[in-house]
Amino acid sequence: MKLSDYDFELPERLIATRPMRPRSASRLLVAAQDSPLRDLHVTDLPDLLRPGDRLVLNDTRVLAARLSGLRHRDSAQGPVAAKIELTLLAPRPDGRWEALLKPLRKVREGEEIVFSPELSARLLGREGDSAIVEFNRSGDDFDAALARVGRMPLPPYIASRRPADARDNTDYQTVFARHPGAVAAPTASLHFDEALLAALAAREISFSHVTLHVGAGTFLPVKVDDISQHKMHAEWGEVSRRAAEEIRATRAAGGRVIAVGTTALRLIETAAQGGDIVAWRGATDIFIRPGYQFRVTDGLMTNFHLPRSTLMMLVSALMGRQRIRETYAHAIGSGYRFFSYGDASLLFPERQE
């Protein structure tokens, strides 16, 4: 399979830079095998699901991962300061962070970058184009200090069009965000608000929460033409014993397990690599592409993805490449809004009666 198989032309006008308000007002394109495509809205979701179905939601919380700070030095002319931009990429098990520093070449190992009177970081080393940094705070103290001085890490296709602002602090966070650690949002979940969650519960749709801390690697381009040679980035996640038991019980009772977002899907499929889903915790680099055999996923709600991306490969694995080509052609022709702040699709690999 070649990378070009997952390419398409997208008019720039369809790249959403702001979400719909309310969240659930977004459009929803429903695609099932051997059934006509349906143009609906996210508010129609309760009627599209059946009592006994289960939605799997990613409850990660996005960190305010972009920071502006100063590097201080003594020079022949006296003390000088230089502006440094830092973007968190991924946490390390030892409490350190992989990050992007601009300009990285100007910062010496051991130097401190001050972001506020309470938050600073020291450069410990380099790995390729990334920096390894250690902050002066950890745990809840770090999260609180970061929230006060950081900015939301908007995806490149939005950040290139406008800067992050106060609206993004809520717009780029799900209403059920719980566990801090992501540097990108699980964007399909951004369509959910309290009213929609209540309507789904009234329809006897159940919810399970899992945690996958989405990393900046989700935006990395695929650079090889033979996609089997692509190396996936790793992200930390956890499926609790309770969530695994809930998912097993739903399937045993004949209900459908529908992942909200590719992050939730990748995590539950990782936890089911032994054949049935079990409690699981660790780093996953699962690469789902055509030919993959799904173990627990019966459906997927997801936004519209970047061309030539691993997420296009994932939805093609679920639905088949031809069906995804048809779905995306319809979405583009019908003016659906794309990417993180855009509209959504609901994908069922089987025909829905």
- Per residue of the chain (353 residues), what is the pLDDT tens digit? 799 999 999 999 999 999 999 999 999 999 998 899 999 999 999 999 999 999 999 999 999 999 999 999 888 778 889 999 999 988 888 889 999 999 998 899 999 999 999 999 999 999 988 999 999 999 889 999 999 999 999 998 999 999 999 999 999 999 999 999 999 999 999 999 999 999 999 999 999 999 999 988 777 788 899 898 898 888 999 999 999 999 999 999 999 999 999 999 999 999 999 999 999 999 999 999 999 999 999 999 999 999 999 999 999 999 999 999 999 999 999 999 999 999 999 999 987 75
Residue 43 sits in the same domain as residue 101: no
Give the pLDDT score at 353. Answer: 59
Strands 66-75 and 38-41: what pairing?
unpaired
CATH number (domain holding residue 8): 3.40.1780.10
Does a structural domain hold residue 260? yes
Q: End of a domain among 121, 149, 177?
A: 149
Give the pLDDT score at 216. Answer: 80
Residue 272 sits in the same domain as residue 333: yes
Give the pLDDT score at 218. Answer: 76
Q: Which two tokens stand for residue 121?
A: 């970081």
Residue 75 sits in the same domain as residue 7: no
Residue 56 sits in the same domain as residue 84: no
Does a structural domain hold residue 88? yes
Strands 78-91 and 280-284: what pairing?
unpaired
Phi, psi of 226 (to 5 degrees): -90, 105
Residue 76 sits in the same domain as residue 27: no
Angle at 156 between CA 56 and CA 99, to 5 degrees: 85
Q: What is the SS3 assignment for 143?
A: helix
Cα–Cα distance for residue pair 262/301, rounded to 1 Å: 8
Residue 58 sits in the same domain as residue 86: no
Give the pLDDT score at 90. Answer: 84
Does a structural domain hold residue 154? no
Does a structural domain hold residue 289? yes
Residue 327 sits in the same domain as residue 237: yes
CATH number (domain holding residue 71): 2.40.10.240
- State how many domains the chain has: 2
Give the pLDDT score at 134. Answer: 96
Query: The whole model's pTM is what?
Result: 0.92
> What residue type is 111 in one-letter code?
E
Does a structural domain hold residue 161? no
Does a structural domain hold residue 162? no
Give the pLDDT score at 78. Answer: 80
Does a structural domain hold residue 326? yes
Residue 130 sits in the same domain as residue 117: yes
4-31 in b/e burial notation, b at 16+ Cβ within 10 A?
A: eebeeebeeebbbbebbeebbebbbbbb
Residue 187 sits in the same domain as residue 53: yes
Give the pLDDT score at 34. Answer: 84
Angle at 111 between CA 106 and CA 113, to 5 degrees: 85
Residue 212 sits in the same domain as residue 318: yes
Range of the domain at 191: 3-62+169-348
Residue 132 sits in the same domain as residue 256: no
Cα–Cα distance for residue pair 65/49, rounded to 1 Å: 36
Residue 196 sits in the same domain as residue 123: no
Q: Where are the beta strands (DSSP E) in the chain?
A: 27-32, 38-41, 54-58, 60-62, 66-75, 78-91, 97-102, 112-116, 119-127, 130-135, 179-182, 206-212, 235-239, 257-260, 280-284, 299-303, 344-348
Nearest alpha carbon to residue 306 among 1, 65, 12, 2 = 12
